Amino acid sequence: MSSSNEPGERLQKVLSRAGVASRRHVESLIAAGRIRVNGEVVTELGTRVDISSDVVELDRKVLQLDVDRRYVLFHKPTGIVTSLSDDKGRPDLTQVLDEIGERLFSVGRLDFDSSGLLILTNDGEAANILAHPSFGVEKTYRVSVQGAVSNKTLGTLTTGVELEDGVIHADEVKRLDDPRGGTTLLDITLHSGKNRVVRRMCAAVGHPVKTLQRRRFGPFHLGGLKPGQWRDFTDQERHQLATLVQLAAEAASSGENR
């Protein structure tokens, strides 16, 4: 945080550009003591900030102020790979990135035969926190599986399934239709980032996956996006992610200092 005669940009300008509020409204937020910079309540209207290093909060929620950071929600259809090239010549992310107009990379992955929510970004720190299992960011998958899934099997999925690379358990499993049918629809929530983990878990309990769609990634939802459609994060979603990143950084720092 800088004083009025030092480098940086005026707080009102930064917040207005990021879509938080108009400059006039920012002044009222400052007057009400609702804005903090690096943990301290801002009292001066001439306060200047450096968006690359200062942490700005509104009502104790961190704000994402760097408008050069891009975050896109993409409904990946089946039949494409989540990379910019494929040694088998299959369709990849090139077309959607051409539409977006910026070179972004995907957070985590979705199999060629899977669909659903894929986050694309140029923010490496946020991508790492969203994707790395040590940060515990949950993902929810809607899967249709072969056979009638019993209550006992639902319990097995949450208590732990033995796979070739260790025991994996879902954080939550919901059965969405009649368990007596030839196909069962499930919502499976877990934070593991292992390759094809949902498919492998379901196969291990005797119910191979027929279709798989990721519906949620952390606080971000697929919503009404149709296959192949994409949209930029809303301002609220950008600030949600900034808060998540800051909390993860603080948790990592406290762990290192123990």
Tell me the catalytic residues: 111
Which residues, 6 or more positions from 21, have their beta carbon under 8 angstroms from its beta carbon? 15, 29
Dist. CA 144–CA 134, nearest whole Å: 28
Query: What Å distances lie between residue 19 and 23, 65, 161, 238, CA to CA?
Result: 10, 9, 45, 10
145 strand-pairing partners:
184, 209
Helix segments in 66-134, DSSP class H: 94-100, 124-131
Q: What SS3 state is found at 129?
A: helix
Nearest-10 Cα torsion for 94, 238, 73, 218: 120
Bin 255: left if φ > 0, else alpha if -120 < ψ < 50, else beta. alpha
Whole-number CA gyration radius for the chain: 22
167 strand-pairing partners:
162
Output the DSSP codes for 214-228.
EEEETTEE-TTPPTT
Residue 84 · residue 97 · CB < 8 Å = yes
